[in-house]
């Protein structure tokens, strides 16, 4: 019996030993997992701290500062105006009988535009001609009497007073006939005013009066307006600080070229010559008015159109030039990024002159042969390493940068 009672008591310690061993193994595994997680976290943080020090050069586009002759030009805002503009009015009162033009039509100088009812003026002309014929007959009779009295005085058949009186009558009638001739001419002119012609070549505007209306010489609006648009003019203004430069260029004796540019696209619409430098400066605006004339056969310029005038004053020899995109504006003024011998971008303040297309004259701050950044400045900081980007890569960077900005704005 003692042996049977001891058997169950030996099995119980074996079960207790298995549970303790399982707990020990599990604790060891958890410790290993925790150690691996901590190591991975520390490695990631260390990699993030080391990343900025290993940044690649910023991809940019560059250009070399060049030295060449450049035109010196100034620009100003202006408005296209016709060389001549005439409001066609009637010079006599009457009924507008006929219109012989179409709205928007090009007309020549002397071309008939409208006609008034001319019957009244024709009658007045006939009346004046009849009066002249009557007075001419009386003059002829008086001259005949004078000739007879001159013959009679030789025979003393009449008195000297009678002859003198007749001579005075002849001179009086001659004056009357001259007055009649003037009346005839006046009536003929009045009749001519019934036919209205264009005094200049140009383009007709909208018809302001329809046929059948009674028109008067005192009507303020007139019948129509004719604008001469070929050639055409551009009136523009420049700051008074530009006056001396413009005046010196004019006094050089050569015609100054002016370009008319489209304000939205910059397209050259026409090229002409400067015709006017106004005789005074506007003290209220501090500007001076100039005017240029352009050939306009294709009608690219139109009265009332806003345009930019580019006045070429001369040529600057051996000027330093860079692409206009290289010049940036900061809080302290204009600057450009210059790439030094180590391939790093250095911020360089500059002063610029006039621009020609996409090229800008640099007055100071740069030297010929230096390399300047022309694209990709938004990613460059002073002292940053840069490298020339392949064609098209910079545009992709800009697009992604723009998209990032837009995304950031959306957030």
pLDDT tens, position by position, 131-143: 999 999 999 999 9
Find the range with the poorest average confidence among 19-23, 231-235, 309-313, 331-335.
Answer: 19-23
381-394: buried (b, 16+ CB within 10 Å) or exposed (e) per residue?
eeebebebbeeeeb
How close are the terminal C-alpha atoms of the chain, in Å? 85
* pLDDT per residue as tens digits for the range 262-318: 999 989 999 999 999 999 999 999 999 999 999 999 999 999 999 999 999 988 889
Quote the pLDDT of residue 399. Answer: 38
Backbone angles phi, psi at 357, to 5 degrees: 65, -120
Q: Where are the domains of the chain?
A: 58-70+318-398, 73-82+227-316, 88-215
* pLDDT tens digit sequence for 321-362: 999 999 999 998 999 999 999 999 999 999 998 787 789 999
Q: Which fold has domain 73-82+227-316?
A: Elongation Factor Tu (Ef-tu); domain 3 (2.40.30)
Cα–Cα dist 190/182, whole Å = 12
Give whole-number Cα distances, 298 to 67, 269, 301, in Å: 38, 10, 8
183 by Cβ neighbours in 10 Å (0-12 / 13-18 / 19+) ranks as middle
> What's the CATH fold of domain 58-70+318-398?
2.40.420
Q: Looking at residue 56, what is its pLDDT?
A: 86
Distance (Å, whole) CA 352 – CA 334: 8
The pLDDT, as a whole number, for residue 6 is: 44
Burial of 60 (0-12, 13-18, 19+ CB in 10 A): buried
Fold equal for 58-70+318-398 and 73-82+227-316? no
CA distance 339 to 351: 18
Over the stretch 43-100, which tens digit does the pLDDT of each residue have?
A: 545 544 444 554 689 999 999 999 999 888 899 999 999 999 999 999 999 999 999 9
């Amino acid at each position: 019996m003692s042996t049977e009672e001891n058997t169950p008591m030996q099995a119980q310690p074996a079960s207790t030993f298995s549970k303790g061993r399982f707990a020990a193994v599990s604790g060891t595994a958890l410790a290993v997992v925790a150690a691996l997680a901590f190591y991975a976290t520390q490695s990631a943080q260390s990699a993030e701290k080391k990343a900025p020090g290993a940044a690649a050069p910023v991809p940019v586009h560059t250009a070399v500062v060049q030295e060449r002759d450049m035109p010196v030009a100034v620009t100003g805002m202006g408005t296209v105006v016709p060389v001549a503009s005439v409001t066609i009015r009637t010079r006599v009162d009457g009924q507008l009988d006929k219109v012989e033009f179409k709205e928007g039509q090009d007309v020549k100088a002397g071309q008939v535009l409208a006609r008034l009812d001319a019957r009244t003026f024709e009658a007045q002309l006939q009346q004046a001609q009849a009066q002249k014929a009557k007075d001419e007959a009386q003059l002829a009779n008086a001259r005949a009497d004078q000739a007879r009295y001159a013959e009679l005085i030789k025979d003393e058949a009449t008195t000297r007073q009678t002859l003198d009186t007749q001579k005075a009558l002849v001179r009086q009638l001659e004056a009357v006939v001259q007055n009649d001739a003037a009346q005839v001419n006046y009536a003929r002119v009045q009749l001519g005013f019934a036919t209205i012609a264009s005094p200049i070549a140009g383009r007709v505007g909208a018809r302001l009066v329809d046929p059948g209306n009674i028109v008067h010489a005192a009507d303020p609006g007139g019948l129509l307006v004719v604008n001469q648009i070929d050639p055409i003019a551009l009136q523009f203004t420049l700051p008074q600080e530009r006056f001396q430069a413009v005046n010196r260029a004019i006094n050089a004796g050569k015609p100054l070229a002016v370009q008319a540019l489209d304000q939205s696209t910059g397209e050259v619409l026409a090229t002409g010559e400067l015709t006017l430098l106004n005789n005074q400066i506007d003290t209220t605006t501090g500007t001076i008015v100039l005017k240029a004339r352009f050939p306009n056969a294709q009608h690219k310029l139109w009265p009332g159109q806003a345009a930019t005038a580019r006045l070429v004053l001369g040529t600057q020899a051996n000027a330093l030039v860079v692409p206009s995109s290289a010049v940036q504006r900061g809080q302290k003024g204009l600057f450009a990024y210059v790439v030094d011998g180590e391939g790093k971008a250095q911020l360089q303040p500059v002063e610029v002159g006039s621009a020609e297309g996409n090229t800008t004259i640099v007055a100071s701050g740069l030297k010929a042969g230096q390399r300047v950044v022309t694209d990709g400045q938004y990613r460059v900081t002073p002292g940053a390493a840069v490298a020339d980007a392949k064609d098209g890569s910079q545009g992709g960077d800009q697009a992604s940068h723009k998209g990032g900005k837009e995304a950031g704005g959306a957030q």
